[in-house]
Amino acid sequence: PENTDHPTQKPEKLLAKIILASSRPGDFVFDPFSGSGTTAVVATKLRRHFLGIELDETYTCLALKRLRLAETDNSIQGYSDGVFWERNTLQDQSESKRSKTQPSDNTISLFHESDHSK
């Protein structure tokens, strides 16, 4: 699961952007403060090797559990087929864009039309 009880866990999508921008498949990713293992999980999902260090045994166990799950599920929320998606779907974004560009009947104009061309 992406959401854990770690107080400073980062979203997988954020780590995916960083890892993709700074490494290639087969490279090593190092995280000296592994916490719940998000960096290691995303590195695994993106076919990178990783080295992580964590002092807290509870978080280490949580990270190991997440890594086992990542071996069978390489999905990253908000990222698929090499594309990062925003929170809304494309259809939602299109509808939102249309509603912003097309005034409704309830729109009040702040400007009065006048003939300044004389």
Output the DSSP codes for 33-80.
Answer: S-TT-HHHHHHHHTT-EEEE--S-HHHHHHHHHHHHHHTT---BTTEE
pLDDT of residue 91: 56
Q: Give the range among 6-10, 21-25, 51-55, 69-73 with minimum mean pLDDT.
A: 6-10
Task: Answer with the residue of higher pLDDT: 49 or 86.
Answer: 49
Given the structure tokens 């590195």, which residue do they identify?
Answer: 43
pLDDT of residue 6: 79
Q: What is the pTM of this model?
A: 0.68
Contact 72, 1 (CB under 8 A): no
The answer on pLDDT for 103 being more than 80 is no
Domains of the chain, by residue range, sit at 27-76
pLDDT of residue 1: 54
Averaged pLDDT of the chain: 81
pLDDT tens track for 17-50: 999 999 999 999 999 999 999 999 999 999 999 9
Q: Among 8, 13, 5, which Cα is nearest to 33's?
A: 8
Average pLDDT score over residue span 92-112: 58
